[in-house]
Structures are given as C-alpha cells and as structure tokens.
Amino acid sequence: MRRPVQPAHLAPILGGMTAIMPLAVDMYLPSLPSLAQSLAADPSRVQLTLSTFFVGVALGQLLHGPLSDRFGRRPLMLIGLALYVLASVGCGLVTSVEALIVLRFLQAIGACAGMVISLAVIRDSFASTDGARMISRMMLIHGAAPILAPLIGGLLLGLFGWRAIFWFLGLYGVLCLAGVAVFLPETRPVHTKGPTGVGSALRGFASVLSHRRFVGYALARAFASAGMFSYIAGSPFVFITLHGVSPQHFGFLFGLNAVGLIAASQINVRLLRRHSSERILGATVVVMALSGVLLVTAACLPLSMGTAGFVALLLPLFFCVACNGLINPNATALAMAPFGDRAGTASALIGALTFLIAGISSAVVSALHGESALPMAITIASVELLSLLCYFFVARAPVVASAPTTVAP
C-alpha cells in the first residue's frame, strides 16, 4: 500500500523543487563577467550558457511529463534531481565555456523535473480548488527565489568566486533530493499506464491539446506569464537607462514586484475559501488587461515628467506582475483537472507553452528596443489582452451541441 500524502510536507518540498529553476538562472547572473574572464571566453559565448539552459528546460518538460505518467512521479523526480546535482557540481569544475554550455543544458534537463512533476503530484492528490490552494502556497517559496537568488549569488561571488555558486546550487539539489526521498510518496494513480513509446507519447500530447478548455486555460496562463517575462527583459533598460535608477535601487524595485507576486498568491489562498478558481481567474484576467492598458498610457508620458512619470509607470506594472500570483495557480489547476491519468503530460504541455510564448515575447521586447518604455509596455499589454481573450473565448466559450441527424422514412 502507498503511503498517504501529507499536505504539510507537500508545500515546502514541491515549492523547493519549483524554486530550483529560478535559482539556477538568477543566482549566477552576477557572475557572468567574472566567468567570462576566468574561462577566457567571449561574452557572447558565455551568454549561450543561459540560452542553452532555457532550451533544456523546454525540451526537458516534454520528456519528464510522459515518463512520469509511465514510470511514476517519484522515480523521475529522483533521477532528475540526481542529474541536476551532478551537472551543477560539474559546472563548478569546468575549464572551458564549451563544457559549461553542455553541462548547463544537462542541468536544465534535471531542474525542470521538479517544475513539471510537482504539478502532476498536485493533480494526483487534490481536486481543482484544493490544488489551486496548494500551488499558491508553493509560490510563497517559488516567488522568493528571484528576490534572494541575485543577493546570494553576489555574496558567494564576492567571498569565494563564481564556482561556489554552482556548488551551492548542487548542495540545494541534494537537500531537495533528500526531501523527496524521505517525505514524498508515489502519487501516480495505480491504474495509469502512460505512454509506451514515442508514438504513444505524441498521441497523448495530441489528445490533451484537443481538449479546448485545457488549451484555453493553458494559454491564459502562458500569455499572463509572458507579460512577466517581457517585464524582466525590458525593465533593466527602462529603469536604469531611461529613468536613471541605480543598479542597487533596480534590485529593490525588482524585488518589490516579486513581493507583490508572492502576496497575490497568498491572497488567493484566502479567496479560494469563498470563491471558485473560475471566478477568481475571470476577475483577475480583466484586472490584468486593464493594468496593461494603463501601462501603455503611462509609457506615452514624456520623460521630462521625471519622478511623477516613473511612478505612473510603476503602479500598473506592479499589478501586471502581481496578477500572475492569482492567475498561475487557478489556471493551472483548472487546465489539469480533466487529466488525472495524464497529469504529467498535461503539466509538460503547460510548461512548454508557457516558456515558448514567454520566450517569444521577451525576444520581441529586445528586438523593439528603442528610446522609450513603449516597446515593453505594448508587448505586456498585448499578451495580457490575449490572456483575457483565451480565457473568455476559448476556455469559457459555451460548447455548441451538434444538430441531431434525422433519417428520412
């Protein structure tokens, strides 16, 4: 008999697992110049270590999801964490940037196991409303990672050098591995068979994608997340270059928006006691879209307005980011609700769609780089309006019944 799931253990374990990816990205960013100098590498080659990581995350999700449906959540988590730990230690020992690029790819494959399989574990263990509540609790840990990671990375860099950052990441992976091994039982339903080959896995993906409401909820979440990624891509230029914010104060403002995201996720826990995930999600996508429109309006203000114009930009931006704390858990839980036997596959598709659309939106912000905040603001507003449209016209569109067929006598 399987051990029962202990909800008190799930939130810290799964939250810690989903925090692996932002830690692996944000913690080593302060070390990029030192890393390039140490390995005698061109900065553009060093940047590939970040791009390769995101490619690994996108591909790894599509790999771990179906495999966890086939072989179970726990074994895939343990294997993914072991790969992450070994790759992290290897990153701290490299002597060439080419080796670092390869190891970062392997590190990403291992890191995304926690992100994908954690959602499958929640779907295995809870109904949609309780699942949304659990995801919100996880975000308390997951949301703290972008705030703490650059601070920890900078401290380790100053005290011990860039290699210590990767050894710290490896140690964090060991702690997660121990937590899963000791506290997390297998949650995959016993009747689940999962795909038996590549063709079966592809048919599983196609089956999930044919579910209109899954696509609507998943795209609503993905476009909302794309707004946050667009902010991450565009805010350094807008804050520091255009408005003269110091790098130190930029970190404070970046952290403030992350605090808003965490606070919204915890407000969601309380709202779910009285309201359904459906109602919360519908109201939030409207608020987020309106915030995006206000953000575009603020971006049109002249730079000569100084502090007043900057504050006018920050306020709607805060709500654009914070709304993800309500949209993410509710849209995820609603999207995965129909797929108890294919939770891993559904989770993988949600993650892949999110990173695909977020990657495109952040690339658009970079490509439209100009002399104002408008490229960032317009991109954020556009994807947030698309999130609203996907919710109301795809996820919530009424099912049209086909007319009955009559046979002539």
User: What distance in Å separates the CA atoms of residue 378 and residue 380, rounded to the nearest whole number?
Assistant: 5
User: What distance in Å separates the CA atoms of residue 278 and residue 373, rounded to the nearest whole number?
Assistant: 33
Packing angle of the helix pair 324-336, 343-367 (nearest 10 deg): 140
CATH class of this structure's domain 207-394: mainly alpha
Rg (CA), the chain: 22
pLDDT of residue 56: 84
User: What distance in Å separates the CA atoms of residue 35 and residue 103, rounded to the nearest whole number?
Assistant: 15
pLDDT of residue 192: 63
Q: In sequence order, what are the residues at sequence separation of 6 or more whose Cβ sits closer than 8 angstroms to the Cβ of residue 239?
A: 245, 250, 253
Secondary structure element (H or E) that encloses residue 141, with its range: helix 128-142
Closest to 106 in 3D by CA, of 80, 76, 125: 80
pLDDT of residue 5: 54
Q: In sequence order, what are the residues at sequence separation of 6 or more whose Cβ sits closer than 8 angstroms to the Cβ of residue 286?
A: 388
Instruction: Return the CATH architecture of domain 1-184.
Output: Up-down Bundle (1.20)
User: What distance in Å separates the CA atoms of residue 293 and residue 308, rounded to the nearest whole number?
Assistant: 18
Closest to 121 in 3D by CA, of 18, 261, 265: 18
pLDDT tens digit at each of 409 positions of the chain: 455 555 566 778 888 888 898 888 878 767 777 888 888 888 767 767 877 887 788 788 888 888 888 888 889 999 999 999 999 999 999 999 999 999 999 999 999 888 888 888 888 877 767 777 887 777 777 777 777 777 788 788 888 989 999 999 999 999 999 999 988 888 887 766 655 566 777 788 888 889 999 999 999 999 999 898 888 778 878 887 788 887 667 767 877 888 888 899 889 989 998 999 999 999 999 999 999 999 999 999 988 788 888 999 999 999 999 999 999 999 998 998 888 777 778 888 998 888 788 878 877 886 776 778 899 999 999 999 999 999 999 998 775 544 444 444 4
Q: How many CB atoms lie within 10 A of CB 401?
A: 6
In the three-class reduction of DSSP (H, G, I as helix; E, B as strand; rest coil), residue 220 is classed as helix
- Is it true that 1-184 and 207-394 share their CATH fold? yes
pLDDT of residue 305: 83
In the three-class reduction of DSSP (H, G, I as helix; E, B as strand; rest coil), residue 163 is classed as helix
User: What distance in Å separates the CA atoms of residue 380 and residue 233, rounded to the nearest whole number?
Assistant: 11
pLDDT of residue 213: 94
Closest to 110 in 3D by CA, of 75, 146, 85: 85
Span 351-406, pLDDT tens digits: 888 878 887 887 788 677 677 889 999 999 999 999 999 999 999 877 554 444 44
The domain segmentation of the chain, as residue ranges, is: 1-184, 207-394
- CB burial of 234-263 (b: ≥16 within 10 Å; e: otherwise) equals bbebbbeebbebeeeeeeebbbebbebbbe
- Judge whether 229 and 359 are in contact, CB under 8 Å: yes
Distance in Å from the first CA to the final CA of the chain: 59
HSE-CB at 241 with a 13 A cutoff on CA atoms is 10
Total number of residues shown for the chain = 409
Q: How many CB atoms lie within 10 A of CB 304?
A: 6
HSE-CB at 8 with a 13 A cutoff on CA atoms is 0
- Judge whether 68 and 189 are in contact, CB under 8 Å: no
- Judge whether 318 and 253 are in contact, CB under 8 Å: no
Residue position matching structure tokens 């996720």: 265
How far out from the chain centre does Cα 379 lie? 18
Q: How many CB atoms lie within 10 A of CB 193?
A: 9
Closest to 20 in 3D by CA, of 155, 110, 135: 110
In the DSSP assignment, the letter for residue 368 is T
Q: Measured between alpha carbons, how far is residue 239 from residues 243, 272, 304 in Å? A: 5, 35, 15
Q: Measured between alpha carbons, how far is residue 162 from residues 83, 96, 165, 243 in Å? A: 21, 14, 6, 31
